[in-house]
Each structure stands twice: as C-alpha cells, then as structure tokens.
Chains A and B, each alone.
Chain A
Amino acid sequence: MKKVVIRKGIYRDSINLMQMSTALSKLPGVSQAAVVMATELNRRVLAEAGFAGSDISRAATDDMIVAVDARDAKSLDAALAEAEDLILSKGPGSAGEARLPGSLEEALQAVPDANMVLISVPGRFARREASHALSRGLNVFLFSSNVSLDEELELKEAARERGLLMMGPDCGTSIINHKVFGFGNAVRPGPIGIVSASGTGLQEVSTLVHKNGLGISQAIGTGSGDMSELVGGITMAEGLRRLEGDPETKAIVLISKPPSPKVAAKVLAMARDCKKPVVVNFLGADLTAQALGRARGARTLEDAARAACSAAGAQPPSAEAVPRELVASASLEWPKLAESQRYVRGLFAGGTLCYEAQVVLGPVVGDVYSNGPIRPELKVEGEAPSKKHACIDMGAEEFVEGRLHPMIDFALRKTRIAKEAADPETAVLLLDVELGYGSNPDPAGELSPSIRDAKAAAASRGRYLPVVASIVATEGDLQNLAKQEATLRDAGTLIAPSNASATRLAAMIASRGKGGAS
C-alpha cells in the first residue's frame, strides 16, 4: 500500500534527501520510499512509480514529498513516523550542532574576514545568493546550475568590476591555494595552472599532471556557460590573466569543449600574447593551423597534461597509446567475442570524458552516437536504447534533474550497464570512475556487482563481455586508489591510466586489434 505526505515549505538539500530516502527504504516491510522536493520532474517520477494522486499535484516546488510503499498498514505507519523523526532531527541545533547562521550576513558576523562563498542552492535562488556575496566583496564558487546566461553575464560583469573571481554557475571543480572546492582530487602543488570550463576535464588533466610527476598551482573552474557567445569567456580571460601574474605558475592549460569561433579567437589571442607558455585544449579541435606563438594546441585532455608538463620544463615519461601490458590483456579478450558483438558502449559520469572518448574513438571506429555528440547529426536521446557505437553522458540534464550527480548516485548507470550487457551487439563496456572530494565514498564497490552481473548475464547468453575503465584519481584521494583498482580488477575490469587510453583500449577490443596506436 502506498501513501504520500506533503510537508509544506520544508527544504532539504539533495544529499540529505537521498540519505532519508535510503534510510526509509531499508525499514522492514517497505518496498520503496522517496523523500524529495516537489519539483515537476520528481512529481512526474513519483506518478510513474504509481504514487499518482491529488496530493502530489497540489504540492508546490518548495514543498517536500514523503512517498512510501509498504506491504501493510503497520509498516507504512512506522515508515512515515520514522520519516517525520528524520525530518525533524535534521533541523539545526537538534543534532548536537550549534545553531547555524541563517544567511550570508549572519555568517559574516562569525567570519568578518571571509574571502570566498561556496554556493550550491537550487538554480533559481543561485543568482540572488551569488549577487549578495559579490556585493560584499567576496569571491564566489557557484556550483548551482540552471542559472540563465543573462544572469551569468550580470554576475561575471559585477565580479570583474570589483576585482573578484566568479567561478560558475555550473562550476564543478576548482583548486584554489591547493584546496579543492566541489569535486576534485588530492593533487600535489606544482607549476601548472589550469582554467577550465569543464569540471571533469579539470579533474582529468590535474590528475594526469600529478601522475606525470608534477603538480598544480591553481585550477580555476569557469562553469560551462563561460565560453558561450553571450558570456564571452569572462572568467576564462580573468583566470588566464591571474595565472600569468602568479609566481608559482610556470605553464598554463586552458580547457573547454570547442567554443564559438568568436570566443575561440579571443581566447587564442590571449594565449598567444601571454608571457607564459599556454596549452589550449578545445577538445578535438586541431589548432595546428593557428598562429599561436609560444602557445600550443592539444587535441585531448591527455595531450594537454603532457604538453603542460613539457612546457613547465619537465620530461614526462614517454607515452604509449595503450600500455603494452594492457594490449596483451586486451588481446586475450577480443578472440572471445561473438560475431554479433561489434560496438563500444561508453557510459560516463564525466561529460567531458564522454566527449573526449568520442574524439578518440572516431578515427578508429567511425561514427559514435551520443546525447552530447561531437557533431549534431550523431545526437541521440540519452534514455533511448544504444545503437552502434555510443557514448552516453549520464551526467547530462535528462539524467540529473532532481537527482544527484552520477559520481555520487550510481543507480541509473547500474541500470544502463545491465541494458548494454543484454544487447548482443555490445562488444565492450567503457566506464569512467571518479575518486576524490565530492564523489561517492566507494565507487568501485558500487560498480563491481553490476560489472559482475553484466558479465554473468552476457555469459548466460553465450557471450563474453569485456569491461574497460579509467579512474580519475591520485593516491592521496580518500577512497584509496589501490583498493578501488583492486576491486574493479577483481570484477574483471581492465584499468587504463587515462580516459583516452581506456577509450583506445575499448576501440582495440571492439575492432579486434585495430586502433592500438594513434
């Protein structure tokens, strides 16, 4: 039996809501439970799950919905009572925590010399909070998405006028003074500065720089809208200018998906005129024909990390397209494939890693379909069944509206892994795994049972299913990189040292040995 309770005007953040949902789902007699804010998407998802009713349609966006499906009235009442306890116990002051400030103004009484505000409220409130912070002379890291480009432009112009850094909206990662904001990894301090319009792009390049033996001075996230024609790369330009003047920074990497020609020209001109060496990575773009002066272009994130290390005066270890021992392992995999298994299926938590995979796969296997395609004609709906070679960004809007990011919540990726395993045309699964601050505490523990099940499901139909992954991480990350690697390997996963390398390995397997070099 199902019941829905609406709590008017009660707000909790998405992590708190997930924790409450999980706790209720584990109660005896409860088959499903959800505690969500009553956004349109969440109301629709609940209706699809059979919780339709007038109560839900009356709920406003700022109301909380508790929805429980239990086997009998006793279990249902117990779950709803527990929900009430959880909601009340999360209030400030009741869990042994001192009363927290209720606003930025109150917080500034506690830290009058604050110099940064980290904002992750729902998008429609984000401009207001960021605007308050800027007007008080504070730098802003704005994690929230769903802020319009007009609002982004207004915030960034205000920040520029005041000499402040405006990172975001939709900024996933920054490393300021060697401290990670948002999602990011424990990289060592060093001479490479980064400005990136992509969160996972920043994570991949910073961890690859670390693996190459160097480190990061500052890494500034701009948010994905910064390189739009309207915003015109304000934070990208501001970040580059500051890194040029930063004594710790010896070489600079700029990262973005290919921007509009106008913004690209502006950024390239700044890179060319910079007093320090600059590596420009407009993912997939060939910049060799551009007059870049001391700056240079890099086609992939992996290239960008290596080029930056060279530019900073280091000699990164010689690159193999795919490490030899992995080629040896892969060559034991492809002879086990059935005739029908022809396609690479990439399921990504990192949107930019999904994009990089398409850039790397294309020349080896041909067209790759995606919900975030490199060419418009290759666009597919993310939720549609895969066709041919496909790379799906599971962090795209259609998967995360009203949900946590797939770096934290693996539910949708696990379901999709099972679907790809059931498809007789799937030759190899390609995955990314992100460790570090902000991510799930045990990503390998989340994915491994699904990988085992996928391999078993394929085996039960007479097929063998190879799985390839890369891990965005350093040995300093809290999740324990060695243990994460071991867990994934035990589940039968081949682990490559970068996303580009994992992608080449997957291409090699699907094409029965082609694509080893690039």
Chain B
Amino acid sequence: MPKAKPRRGAPGIFGRDLKVVNIGIPTFADDLSAQGVTVVKVDWKPPAGGDSEMMRLLDKLGT
C-alpha cells in the first residue's frame, strides 16, 4: 500500500450522499450522473507509461 493517511473507522456508506470519482470507462460516470450522483471523471492514462518498474518507484515515493 502507498503511504498515505488512513481514516480508520470511516463512516459507513449507506444513507449518505454519494460523491464518486470515476477512473476508467467514462460511460459508468455518465450513468451515475444521470441518476443524480455527483461524479468527477479522471482522464486516466497508464502511469509511468505502463512501466511497472517505474510504477514501483513512484509508489515508494508516495506519489
């Protein structure tokens, strides 16, 4: 796992307003928007151009 601040005991998702980040196929985000859900799309590209060694280095740096 990359280093970051975990939020232990995060409140359950049931009954809360959904706010979604979509990483990947944009139509999934469009379907959620059509249901009135707040969605932010990420313009995803393979990290480090898909180079797995570079991805491991990035993870170590916590980026």
Contact = CB atoms under 8 A, between A and B. Distances in A.
B33 to A, nearest CB: 10
A60 B5 CA distance: 36
A113 B20 contact: no
A38 B42 CA distance: 23
Interface string A138-174: 1100011000000000100010011111000000000
Nearest to A436: B31
A333 B36 CA distance: 46
Contacts of B21: 104, 107-108, 111, 114, 116-118, 133, 138
B45 A102 contact: yes
Interface stretch (A81-89, A179-187, A295-303): A179-187
Majority SS of interface residues in chain B? loop
A118 B23 contact: yes
A257 B52 CA distance: 34
Interface in B30-44: 31-32, 35-38, 40-44
Given A62-B49, A125-B47, A101 B40 contact: yes
Interface residues of A, number: 65
B46 A62 contact: yes
Given A13-B25, A125-B47, A132 B2 contact: yes
Contacts, number: 162
A292 interface: no
Given A129-B23, A143-B28, A101 B6 contact: no
Contacts of B8: 161-163
A467 to B, nearest CB: 29
Contact of A117 (B1, B11, B20): B20
A137 B27 contact: no
A176 interface: yes
A462 interface: no
A110 B20 CA distance: 11
The 5 closest A-B pairs by CB, nearest first: A120-B24, A137-B7, A62-B50, A100-B43, A135-B4
Interface of A: 9, 11, 13-16, 60-62, 92, 99-104, 106-108, 110-111, 113-122, 124-125, 128-129, 131-139, 143-144, 154, 158, 161-165, 176-177, 179-182, 218, 242, 246, 248, 437-438
Interface of B: 1-16, 18-29, 31-32, 35-38, 40-47, 49-50, 52, 55, 59
